[in-house]
Amino acid sequence: MKRLWRIVGVVLIAAISLNVAYAVYGDILLERRGPTSEADFPRVVFPHWFHRIRYKCYACHTEIFEMKAGANEITMEAILAGKFCGECHNGQIAWAASFDTCSKCHVGQ
C-alpha cells in the first residue's frame, strides 16, 4: 500500500511540475453551467486528494464549501473575489487564480 501511495505521489508531483492536470481517482470534475459552453472553456478538474494530503477536511468544509455535490455555485467572479478556491488561491497561500492561469484548472477531461 505504501508503494501505491508513493507512485500516486510521484505522478501528482510530475503532473504539477509539468503544469499538466489529469483526472485521477478521487478528483472532482466540475461541470460548466450557464451561458458559456464547454467549447468556450473545458471543465475543471479539482484534485481533491492532492489537497486532502495537505489539509484536514474542516479546512475547507463547511466554512468554504458545502459538503454536497452541486451545492456550491462556484464562478470565476466569486473565485477572483476571494471566495471558494480564491480563499487560498490568492498568490499568498497558493498560486493566484487568474485569467492567466486558466489551464491549471480548466483541463477538460
pLDDT tens column, 39-61: 677 888 999 988 999 999 999 99
Q: The domain spanning residue 55 has which CATH number?
A: 3.90.10.10
Task: Flag whether 87 is in a domain.
Answer: yes
Domain that holds residue 55: 21-104
Has residue 51 been placed in a domain?
A: yes
User: What is the SS3 assignment for the chain?
Assistant: CHHHHHHHHHHHHHHHHCCCCCCCCCCEEECCCCCCCCCCCCCEEECHHHHHHHCCHHHCECCCECCCCCCCCCCHHHHHCCCHHHHCCCCCCCCCCCCCCHHHCECCC
pLDDT at 18 over 50: no
Q: Is residue 8 part of a domain?
A: no
Does residue 95 fall inside a structural domain?
yes
Please count the structural domains in the chain: 1
- The model's confidence at residue 95, banded by pLDDT at 50, 70 and 90, is very high
- Confidence band for 2, pLDDT divided at 50, 70 and 90: confident
**6 within some domain:** no
Instruction: Judge whether 88 lies within some domain.
Output: yes
The reported pTM is 0.69
Q: Residue 34: CA atoms inside 13 Å, Cβ hemisphere, count?
A: 11
32 in a structural domain: yes
Flag whether 71 is in a domain: yes
